[in-house]
Chains A and B, each alone.
Chain A
Amino acid sequence: MASHPSTSAWPPSPAARLRTWWTILRICLEERLVYRGDFALGTLMRFLPIVTQIFLWSAIFAAAGHDSIAGYSYHDFVAYYLLTMVSRAFSSMPNLASGIALSIRDGTIKKFLIQPIDMIAFLLLNRVAHKAVYYSVAIGPFALVFYLCRGFFPGWPGAMTLLAFAASLVMSFLLGFFLEATIGMIGFWFLEVSSLLFVYMLFNFFFSGHMFPIDMLPGIWRTLVELLPLKYLAYFPAAVFLGKVQGAELARGLAVQLFWVVAFAATVRTAMRLGVRRYSAYGG
């Protein structure tokens, strides 16, 4: 931006700042609403694999001969898979890391470096808009599927559990964002992050609890997963809702999740600061 209007003072007043961000959020919202039909259809289809899981676990429980596997009943398993769909809806960030790496590679990141707009905050708002639109459209299919599957749930948990669930979902969104943005920032050093991203996705799929409740993992694997932040992206919110994590353990879980959010928020800032220093602006 060449110059600021002479009438406004620099730095801008909080009101002006708020207006800027509000405008950005509104534009992003409108951009996203263009594809709402595709969204709704896509969301409904995403539940199809759950159908297979329901039958698979039913067959497993029929042959296992006991009512509980790793502390989960058959109904818990189905409820768990449905709930991880919710947490994944919060924590997954399609194209975030690859988008950042691409903008570094082709030079479009320059626009953030010369405009008085913070890139990370801009991307975060963009995601908030994306997710807000996603939920407003996806709530239909989600409500339908949860209603159809209501028999698998033990009933509504208490208010405190719901509150903890909501908090863990918001934090899983933030954690997902900062974690993937950090991977994107690695693009300052490597330019191409797609294979790195692949490794991340692979681990994410297996160790976030997306594929199965991580309580099933034996010994050393379980310990490893406890040390990684990935379980807060899918497993943790679902386990909270189902009452698998309670009391002091719940408080500790939420605290650790908050720790990871803050840690990755700080990491992404640092990575960007260091990255911009060595950035050499390829492309036009």
Chain B
Amino acid sequence: MSNHPSYGRVFLTFARNSLVRDMTFRANFVIECVSSLSWVLMNLGFYVLIFRYTPMIGKGTGWGQYQFFIFLATTLLVTSLVQTFFMPNAEEFSELIRRGDLDFALLKPIDTQFLISLHRVNWSSLANFAFGLLLLGFSLYQLAYWPSLWQWVSYPIYLACGVAIMYSLMISMAAVSVWMGRNQSLYNFWFYITNFSRYPMEIYRGAWGDPLRWTFTFVIPVLIVVNVPARLMVKPLEARTLAAFAVVYTVMSLAFSRWVFSRALRSYRSASS
């Protein structure tokens, strides 16, 4: 038997345990799925309403109703994956620090960031993922557009990049609570920052928009998260440089979050008695 735990098998155990837990309260699970789906439907309703008044979001940008719905589907796919695998864990992380329970995680013979980031899987968030896939399929059908093989291959890869960037941002922010004790406001901050990623980057233009677009592309790369995969699907020719850039940024984000996380662990002083 090797000294290193099998990360894949440990993760499968986490996933199975979470599923068992979710299935213990089945009615609650169904309610959670229905609630998150109804938020999504409300949002979709809002955009349907908008497209009653305009043919496109942004003049000449090509984001017509169904192109934008592909964008929306991509947003759904990325955020639902983040919510399924990372959100409940990051939320718990700051509580672990506050209560001093991080000790138990540090003692386990496995990478702490892996353990902290993945030990709970929130299966009900996959309802939104399924809806995202449906919306993507429906929009492609409406556009009567069949993406090339290259697009089909790169789309999931860039979805994964988007998820990785979101994860890096989230775990870095959660790790900051080592220094702050508790950070409720930072969570709101995460929500508000990611709010910028929900729209095509073309809408940020002008004296205020350009610096904003620049900041959220290069400094806090949330604009890349949805824009790159969505663009690869809708208008692949314009996305090439951005796509190459996204890979570099994904690696950098992950490295950065790793650095913040290990710095945070070094500053951790247990709080338990």
Binding site for B on A (CB under 8 A): 38, 41-42, 45-46, 48-49, 51-52, 55-56, 58-64, 69-70, 195, 198, 202, 205-206, 211-212, 216-218
Contact = CB atoms under 8 A, between A and B. Distances in A.
Residue among A41, A48, A62 with most chain B CB within 10 A? A62
Nearest to A217: B49
Contacts of B45: 206
A195 B192 contact: no
Interface in B200-237: 202-206, 209, 212
A40 B10 CA distance: 43
B149 to A, nearest CB: 32
A52 B52 contact: no
Q: Is the interface of B mostly helix, strand, loop or mixed?
A: helix
Contacts of A70: 53
Interface in B50-66: 50, 52-61
Given A48-B192, A212-B46, A63 B57 contact: yes
A45 B53 contact: no
Interface residues of B, number: 36
Interface stretch (B124-132, B155-163, B181-189): B181-189
Contacts of B193: 48
Given A45-B188, A63-B57, A211-B42, 8 more contacts: A42-B185, A56-B57, A56-B199, A60-B54, A63-B54, A202-B39, A202-B42, A218-B52
Contact of B203 (A42, A46, A58): A58
A50 B209 CA distance: 13
B212 A51 contact: yes
B53 A55 contact: no
A63 B56 contact: yes
Interface string B2-32: 0000000000000000000000000000010
A45 B185 contact: yes
